[in-house]
Amino acid sequence: NAGVTQTPKFQVLKTGQSMTLQCAQDMNHNSMYWYRQDPGMGLRLIYYSASEGTTDKGEVPNGYNVSRLNKREFSLRLESAAPSQTSVYFCASSEYGLLAYGYTFGSGTRLTVV
C-alpha cells in the first residue's frame, strides 16, 4: 500500500546515545516533515523539507538534525539523546505548496530516552 513508512516503531535509548529515525514515502510527494507529539501538546514541527535538496527548521529543532537523502527519504537524527526527547515522532509527506491537499502520516516511532 502506498504511504509513509517509519522505522523503527519503538526505541529505547540511554542519555547521550545517538540514533537515526528513518522515513520513506512512495507517493512521489515533494515535501516531507518530522513532528513530535507529546501528551497535551499536539504535534510540533521539528524540521521540514519543502522539496528535495532543501531542509528548514520548524518550531522545535534543537537537538535534532535531518537529511533529505532523495525525494523518497527523509531521516531525523538525534546526536546526543536527552530525556526531554522522549516522545512519539511522526514523519509526514505532502505535495508542495499552499494548495497541498493533505498530509500523509507514518505510524510513528515511540522513543524513550532513559
Nearer to another protein by Cβ, of 92 and 113: the residue is: 92
CA atoms of 112 and 53, how far apart (whole Å): 30
- Which stretch, 13-21, 40-48, 69-77, 79-87, contacts another protein (CB under 8 A)? 40-48
Q: Which stretch binds another protein (CB under 8 A): 12-20, 31-39, 61-69, 71-79?
A: 31-39
Q: Which residues contact 1 (CB under 8 A, 6 or more apart)?
A: none
Contact call for residues 94 and 103 (beta carbons, < 8 A): yes
| Residue 17 in contact with another protein, rule: CB under 8 A | no
Residues 63, 26: Cα–Cα separation, whole Å:
28
Residue among 2 and 101 whose Cβ is closer to another protein: 101
Per CB under 8 A, 19 contacts another protein? no
Instruction: Single out the residue of 2, 10, 40, 62 in contact with another protein (rule: CB under 8 A).
Output: 40
Rounded to whole angstroms, the Cα distance separating 28 from 112 reads 31
Amino acid at 114: V
Q: What residue ranges bind another protein (CB under 8 A)?
A: 4, 31, 33, 35, 40-45, 48, 50, 58-59, 90, 92, 94, 96-108
